Structure 1
Amino acid sequence: MRFIYFSIILLFISITAVGQEINFDETFANAKSEAEKGNYDKALSLIEPLRIKFPQNEDVKIFTGRIYSWKKDYKSAIAILSPLADRVNPEPDALLAIINVYYWSEQFDTCILYCDKYLAVDPNSIDVLKIKVTCLEKLGRDKEALEIIDHASVNENSTQAFKGIRTLIGRKTKNAVSASYLNVSTSNPGQAPLHYGYVEYAHKFSKSALVGRANIGHVNNDTQMLFEADYYQTFAKKDYLYVNAGVSTGETIFPVTKIGAEYYFRPQKRFDYALGARFMHFETDDVTLLTGQISYKTGSNAIAYRPYYDTGNELFSHVLSFQHTNEEKERVIRLELQYGNVPYLYLYNNFTQPLKAYRVGLQYQHRIGDSFFVRPIFLYEYEEYLPGEYRNRFNAQIIITKRF
């Protein structure tokens, strides 16, 4: 009888043990499911009994640390993960988890230290290398970041994982030089082509930028130059002020003198606004343009409307643009629809009567390597050159830029 009694007790204990094992797997799976749904407190309530019952189970510890990191309770996550990541033979999954904790909490110096620990075991981990390179970029250690990218690209025969970081570093370059040529031709009736070009040098400071530009124009066997300077000053929330001034060597091809300013601001996340004015002194007249812009951005696409108002001639002009930008490749495709006397870059005439013009323009920017840019621009105009008389006008431009 006693044997039967003990056998029943042993059988009950065995069944209970099996039930506990099943309960562990089921509870762990439920905790993962709740964490995936973003129910972090629920996941923690499920995982906590497992931590108490199985205090040596490292999978439970690591997952608990991950939950706290997803919950942005970085202090608790570090307290749980550090003993596993700091020992002589660190647990790789714990290292990966704590790397993410320090990266998400923007403790970039410490994150790099744990990246180095992991890379000592797995030196070709692209995910960890990418986090380390990103941390170096955030800390301004761009040279070290580029050295790692170049070495990793050789080993992996691919630079795909690092293209975005290369772009961020490239945009930090302080200097750029550009050269441009613009040809303006007409037909029905036609006239001799107009030729314009410029070279410019730009330099970035911490919160500002300065551009110097020398323009040259050849029109009707006459050649004149315009010297310009642009200044950009950035403020909080990515607002910035643009100021332009120039003086020419002649009185007909370019304005004798010119000055302008425009303020760009972003009171809402997806909308950009601008307000500005331009003044141009010609040989026989002065022109004042009031302008501004409203732009809406969604993802990689933006649509913008810009009006111009010529105060002296009481002329309204309009530009509607559509732009697609690939930030990683720094590639731009832009379509413009224009109506009225819209200034083409630095070109604007002192009209004395409201002549109409309808325009459609397309431009494309392509990056070659890390620092060369080519931007072709084509603009077609159906231009009223005399009251009631129209002709075709073709503007073809190429801009080449090198940043360094």
Structure 2
Amino acid sequence: MKKIFFSLFISFTLFLPAPLLAQEITETNTDEIYKLALKEYKDQDYERSLQLTIRGLELAPEYHDIRILQIRNLWALDRLAAADTDLDFLLEEAPQYVDVLPLVHQRVGRFSSNENTLSFLKKIAKIYPEDTGLEVKRAQILLKDKRRAEARDLAQELIKDRKLSGEDRYDLQIILNRTVSNEVGVTYSYINFSEAYKNYSRWHTVSAEYQHNFNRTAVIGRVNYTDREVNSGSLYEVEAYPVFNDRAYAFVNLGFYNGELFPEFRGSASFFYNFAKIFEGELGGRLISLDDQSYFSGVFGLTAYREKFYLNARTFVGPKRLDQVIQNYQFNVRYYFGNADNYLFSRLGSGISPDERTIYTQVKYPDLEAYYFTLGINKTLGLNHIFQVSAGYLTEDITGTIKGNQLMANLGYRYRF
């Protein structure tokens, strides 16, 4: 009863002229009052709707739908302190009422400081210990507050939850990607060719890279050295992932080589945008200079985050050469276990994309077909060590009548600090 009298007192003191105006409301049926208040709210007459909700709560202090509508009116009128009083009442008296938790999620985005938001989330966690979405929001706020280590620890713990929604998993992956300052890595790639290839039987490629995260942008320097038995060479790359906001980021890559194994220049750019909570679209292009000729490919992609799965479809279209439009289609799948750095992955595709740095030759021979499949695992050991192992098989036309097969294997290691 004390809480009810306190709530009534707040209504009479915070809205000084409101009681007088509420007296003009002669309706005593609280259901009718709620319907009238809801209509005024939808018509954006928040003051009049507020008068009705105050009157309704005078008659029925425990009419939760009226109180919820009153909170929405107060938010619309930017009276957050008064709205918090009503929200606190609901959290004490009816925390499991169907529309209370959505209010809590909305309230999180209305705080003016990270400190107040975190304090609110700490209190709410005791009331809704099973709501992972609120903990995801807490990890996001910790990152905004530049408490990177705390944000990362929390995100790593949360992403183990099998019940995570696709949206929450996507947000946690972003947090984990943004809470690493430096990485160094090395990758070894091996390709074994079938007897149909007359000039070589195996290729070896070693790539070494260093990554530094400047606030929300990752910048990578990479050197690729390839030994193809009869000749060898190196490709030098600079890569960046600028992040614009929580939904949009980009990828940019520049590569240079002086020789015959790789293109003299390669440039890549893509823009990524997350929409409809679980989808991510990609739009971009690739440009290479080879034998004093330039070739451009457009890239289009769509990714869906569904529970513990990452599902991605991409296509590369172009350039047009010898009256043939070169095309690559691929489907990528990841199954996450543990956290964002632990997953199984596979790729199925036709054609060789320009992103395959060491084997992209289709631009020279556009009428020859290629199909491939890759399967692998990415696994962490502790917080700093990441290992990746994969194997694949590719079959392609060498000439119009001869097919060749390739067995591919990759071993990678990264260290984060």
* TM-score normalised by the chain length of structure 2: 0.64
Equivalent AA in structure 1 for residue 68 of structure 2: R
Matched, 1:357 2:357: no
- Report how far residue 388 of structure 1 moved: 2.2
8 Å contact 2:67–2:86 — kept in the other structure?
no
Gaps of 5+ in 2: 1-27
C-alpha spacing 1:302/1:147, structure 2 compared with 1 (3 Å): closer
Q: 1:202 to 1:380 in 2, by over 3 A?
A: same
What is the alpha-carbon distance in structure 1 between the residues aligned to residue 242 and residue 129 of structure 2? 41
Q: What amino acid does structure 1 have at the position aligned with 2:371?
A: R
Match runs of 1:256-295 below 5 Å: 257-264=264-271, 271-280=281-290, 285-295=291-301
Change (3 A) 1:105 1:335: same
Q: Equivalent residue for 1:306?
A: 316
Amino acid at match of 1:243: N
Distance 1:99 1:205 in 2: 33
1:170-209 superposed matches below 5 A: 170-172=176-178, 173-189=180-196, 191-206=200-215, 208-209=217-218
Structure 1 residue 102 and structure 2 residue 115: aligned? Answer: no
In the aligned structure 2, how far is the partner of 1:233 from the partner of 1:145?
20
Q: 1:81 to 1:373 in 2, by over 3 A?
A: same
Cα distance 1:273–1:267, how it changes in 2: closer, same or farther (>3 A)?
A: farther
Query: Are the aligned partners of 2:384 and 2:415 in contact in 1 as well (CA < 8 Å)?
Result: yes
Change (3 A) 1:358 1:160: closer
Amino acid at match of 1:279: S
> Could you tell me how far apart the structure 2 residues matched to 1:149 and 1:245 are?
34
1:399 maps to which residue? 412
SS in 1 for 2:257: strand
**Residues 343/288 of structure 1: CA separation in 2 closer, same or farther (3 Å cut):** farther
Aligned residues: 356
Residue 236 of structure 2 corresponds to residue 227 of structure 1 = yes
- CA drift of 1:148 comes to 6.9
Equivalence for 1:14:
none
Going from structure 1 to structure 2, the CA distance change for 1:123 and 1:317 (only over 3 Å counts) comes to same
Please, which of 127, 136, 158 is the counterpart of residue 142 of structure 2? 136
Counterpart residue number, 1:52: 58
Residue number in structure 2 paired with 1:383: 396
- Residues 1:344 and 2:356 are matched in the alignment: yes
Relative to structure 1, the CA distance from residue 112 to residue 226 in structure 2 (aligned partners, 3 Å threshold; closer, same or farther) is closer
| TM-superposed deviation, 1:215 | 1.6
Alpha-carbon separation, structure 1, partners of 2:219 and 2:231: 30
User: 1:350-392 deviations in whole A, cap 9, x for unaligned?
Assistant: 9866561321223445353656544444443323334522222
Report the CA distance between 1:73 and its aligned residue: 3.5
- For residues 71 and 385 of structure 2, the distance between their equivalents in structure 1, rounded to whole angstroms, comes to 41
Offset of 1:214 from its aligned partner?
Answer: 1.8
Distance, in Å, in 1 between the alignment partners of 2:228 and 2:250 is: 35
Larger gyration radius, structure 1 or structure 2: 1
Output the CA distance in 2 between the equivalents of 1:67 and 1:325.
Answer: 43
Question: Is residue 305–residue 320 contact of structure 1 (8 Å, CA) maintained in 2?
Answer: yes
- Return the letter of the residue paired with 1:180: T
Q: CA deviation at 1:292?
A: 0.9
Question: Which residue of 81, 84, 87 corresponds with 1:81?
Answer: 84
Bigger Cα displacement from structure 2, 139-148 vs 317-326: 139-148
Cα 1:294/1:221, change in 2 over 3 Å: closer
Partner of 1:110, secondary structure, is: helix
Cα offsets for 1:76-113 (capped at 9, x unmatched): 56414338859xxx974599978655303254432333
Q: In 2, Cα distance between the equivalents of 1:388 and 1:378?
A: 27
Q: Match of 2:317, as an amino acid?
A: P
SS for the counterpart of 2:207 is: strand
Which residue in 1 is equivalent to 2:332? 323
Q: Residues of 1 paired with 2:375 and 2:391: CA distance?
A: 6
Query: What is the identity, as a one-letter code, of the residue corresponding to 1:338?
Result: S
CA contact (8 A) 1:203 1:210 kept: yes
Instruction: Give the conservation status (yes or no) of the 8 Å contact 2:328–2:350.
Output: yes
Return the alpha-carbon distance in structure 2 between the equivalents of residues 325 and 341 of structure 1.
Answer: 19
Name 2:4's counterpart in structure 1. Answer: none
User: How many Å apart are 1:259 and its aligned residue?
Assistant: 3.4
Q: Distance in 1 between matches of 2:149 and 2:272?
A: 33
CA contact (8 A) 1:333 1:364 kept: yes
Question: Which SS does the other structure have where 1:178 is aligned?
Answer: strand
Equivalent-residue separation in structure 2 for 1:259 and 1:135 (angstroms):
38
Which letter maps to 2:119? Answer: L
Q: Distance in 2 between matches of 1:77 and 1:288?
A: 59
CA-atom RMSD in angstroms: 4.9
1:160-171 matched pairs, under 5 angstroms: 164=169, 167-171=173-177
Cα distance, 1:200 vs. partner? Answer: 0.8
- Aligned-pair identity in percent equals 14
Change (3 A) 1:292 1:170: same
Q: Secondary structure at the match of 2:196?
A: coil
Q: What amino acid maps onto 2:356 in structure 1?
A: Y
- Residues 235 and 147 of structure 1: is their aligned pair in 2 closer, same or farther, counting only changes over 3 Å? closer
Which is worse superposed, 295-304 or 344-353? 344-353
Q: Aligned equivalents of 1:362 and 1:170: distance in 2?
A: 25
